[in-house]
Amino acid sequence: MARTAEPLARRRRRRAVRSFLFVRHLRHVRGRVWGLWPCWWVCCLSLCMLPCRAARAQTPAHPTPLPYQSLRFEEDYRFLRDPAQRTDLWDPLKYLALRDTEAWYVSLGGEARLRYEYFNHSLWGQGPQDHDGYVLQRYMLHADVHLGPRVRLFTQLKSGLEEGRTGGPRPTDKDELDVHQVFVDVTLATEPTVTLRMGRQELAFGSSRLVSVRESPNVRQSFDGLRALVRAGAWQVDGFVTLPVNTKRGMFDDDPDTQRLFWGLYVVHPLPLLPAGHIDLYYLGLNREEARFDQGRAHEVRHTLGLRLWGRPDPWDYNVEVVYQLGTFGAGQIQAWTAASDTGYTLRTVPWQPRLGLKADIISGDRNPRTQDLQTFNPLFPRGAYFGEIALLGPANLIDVHPSLELHPTPRLTVSVDWDVFWRESLHDGIYGNAVNLVRSGQRSRARSIGSQASVQAEWHVERHTTLTAVYSHFLAGPFLRETGPGRDVDYASAWVTYKF
């Protein structure tokens, strides 16, 4: 009996120890898991939606379910006034009638995104390093109120959270809760359509090369101001005067940046001289009370003139843009420029429909930091992932050549691989980030090569609402980075799930 009881006692002690350790582990991670609780319901809801969609697939639906737009205020759900068109779980919220007429309604929507990011040798080994990555959360909720054919109110709240990043959140990582957009549209005329927009709003023009909503970072960009939109036949004309909104980390504390004024005029029209051609012509103005470049700090007034030619004459697509900038930097004169191209060819009859693409950019840098004049290009408010999700470099003082291959193994899955090679345009200027922030001074090296970057990305549209994305990039540091040190190779990995309704 003693030999039988002894093992039983030992087994009970082992179970007690394991239970104790497990409880300790739960207490250790409870704070981090609880901090992510909003994400769990989003993921569970996304999975629960799959059978709902399958069950509804047998019901006649709207011929083409409307895709969700990057600018959510551009979505139009008036067709859902007909109950027979409502086939999606969220359709009852997309059109809430206010009166017995099509033009009086409310449309509700939102987005949740959970994103994990990891860097090995962030900024090539410069600054604090994070060895296990961090989690970013984004939540957005909007209401689009139409009070007849001439008046509209659009409001949108945002919340951006960060968890576990060594060194704390970056400026675009965290904004606990704030008003992202709140504007009123007043339509003054209908033929042509003339609309006056007043309030806090997102701006995005062309290919988002110079003016973007900053989608990839956790917190998007908005502007406070006045905008006039004219639609006359094939002409689209936008004029605006705004102040960029400062992203602050607290609750309802974002405010307009009175140190920067941003204004401009953007015109789009078809161009029959080119295959499926369009032309964009624009002027953008920026006044910054204090701007910093490798040359130093000073008051900047910059005027940007641009021309963009683009089209998609299948199987080709093309996008060519040339930009010239002038103005003043302190007592000196600004003369900067860029030329960029993005050309692709899609093999429609080949399995997976591969697209072969080639991008090329040349972006001016400062010629002599000891003079008052400045030749460094300012990309204004560019998209957050200008050269990929790794986002180490911004479009200033660069030459880059960027071949790519895009594949579609299934209609919902896109896989892309690319290689980007970078050089300094001017050997007397440094390299910059997306926010025109100086990353490395160029005054201690005459090396031109910055390095090269290889990336692979997979994007799976699980269903209309849910998208899963994963990215891996490896940056090979070149002579310039090694000479200005530290210059270590960088590994970057990220994955995120987005749910929209």
Determine the 3-state secondary structure of 430 from DSSP.
coil
| Domain contains 9 | no
| Domain contains 5 | no
pLDDT at 17: 42
Which CATH number goes with the domain that contains 465? 2.40.160.100
Question: Which H/E stretch holds residue 476?
Answer: strand 466-477
Whole-model pTM?
A: 0.87
Nearest to 137 by CA among 158, 122, 167, 168: 158
| Domain contains 105 | yes
And the tokens for 428? 């007397």
The parent domain of residue 54 ranges over: 21-500
| Domain contains 437 | yes
Q: In total, how many domains does the chain have? A: 1
pLDDT at 344: 98
| Domain contains 193 | yes
Backbone φ and ψ for 418, nearest 5 degrees, come out as: -155, 165
pLDDT at 497: 98
Tens of each residue's pLDDT in the chain, 501 residues: 333 444 545 555 554 444 443 334 334 333 443 444 444 444 444 434 443 333 333 334 445 678 999 999 999 999 999 999 999 999 999 999 999 999 999 999 999 999 999 999 999 999 999 999 999 999 999 999 999 999 999 999 999 999 999 999 999 999 999 999 999 999 999 989 999 999 999 999 999 999 999 999 999 999 999 999 999 999 999 999 999 999 999 999 999 999 999 999 999 999 999 999 999 999 999 999 999 999 999 999 999 999 999 999 999 999 999 999 999 999 999 999 999 999 999 999 999 999 999 999 999 999 999 999 999 999 999 998 999 999 999 999 999 999 999 999 999 999 999 999 999 999 999 999 999 999 999 999 999 999 999 999 999 999 999 999 999 999 999 999 999 999 999 999 999 999 999
Three-state SS sequence of 339-360: EEEEEEEECCCCCCCCEEEEEE
| Domain contains 3 | no
How many Cα atoms occupy the beta-carbon half-sphere of 331 within 13 Å? 3
Asked whether the beta carbons of 340 and 171 are under 8 A apart, the reply is: no
pLDDT at 42: 40
| Domain contains 324 | yes
| Domain contains 14 | no
pLDDT at 57: 36
- The DSSP code sequence of 127-174 is S---SS-EEEEEEEEEEEEEESSSEEEEEEEEEEEEES-TT---TTT-
